[in-house]
Amino acid sequence: VGLRQDGTSTIGVWAYSSIGATAIKGLGVLIVPMLIAAFIVLNTMLGTVYERLKDIGIYAAVGLAPSHIALLFIAEACAYAVLGITLGYLGGQGMGLVLNHLDMLGGLNLNYSSLAAVFSALIVM
């Protein structure tokens, strides 16, 4: 039994799900780690640019446009991101298989979906 907005009662089956509320509540916990990861990536990229100032000067002297030089750094960062995500995903899956084989997970079923790796790549890039 439920009540409509006009005050009349209705009889029926009502479905309730808290999945959406739980997903939004968990987002607050992820904001700080995501900011820390973003600053780590920013610091790494700034360090890479600072270490390669001579290379940037050479590229500019040869006649490469500044936007193309920036594109080189972005392509390098994307290559490192894809390589790191792939190796991390495969390493995690391998470790999960080893732990599952040794029966150290205590009945925990692992999700072998690669969507987590795709979302991580999108966040980092």
Q: How many domains does the chain have?
A: 1
Distances 29 to 22, 24, 66, 115, 124 between C-alpha atoms, Å: 12, 10, 39, 20, 18
pTM flag (> 0.95): no
102 found inside a domain: yes
Chain-centre distance for alpha carbon 48? 22
- 12: in domain: no
Residue 10 in domain: no
pLDDT of residue 9: 60
Q: What are the pLDDT digits (tens) for 59-100?
A: 999 999 999 999 998 898 889 888 888 898 889 889 988 998
**pLDDT computed for residue 119 by the predictor:** 77
In a domain, 54, yes or no: yes
Flag whether 76 is in a domain: yes
User: Quick one: average pLDDT of 50-54?
Assistant: 93
> Phi, psi (5° rounding) for residue 2?
-140, 170
Helix (H) or strand (E) holding 112: none
Whether 98 is in a domain gets the answer yes
Residue 20 within a domain: no
**Is 48 part of a structural domain of the chain?**
yes
Express as a percent the part of the chain with pLDDT over 90.
30
What dihedral do alpha carbons 28, 29, 35, 38 form, nearest 10°? -120
Helix (H), strand (E) at residue 102: none
Better pLDDT: 125 or 1: 125
The beta strands (E) that lie in 1-125 are given as 2-3, 9-10
pLDDT of residue 2: 52
Return the half-sphere exposure (C-beta side, CA atoms, 13 A cut-off) of residue 110. 17
Least confident segment among 7-11, 53-57, 77-81: 7-11
| pLDDT (tens digit per residue) in 96-115 | 889 988 989 888 877 777 77
Which residue type is seen at 123?
I
What is the residue range of 78's domain? 29-124
Exposed / middle / buried, residue 79 (Cβ in 10 Å: 0-12, 13-18, 19+): exposed
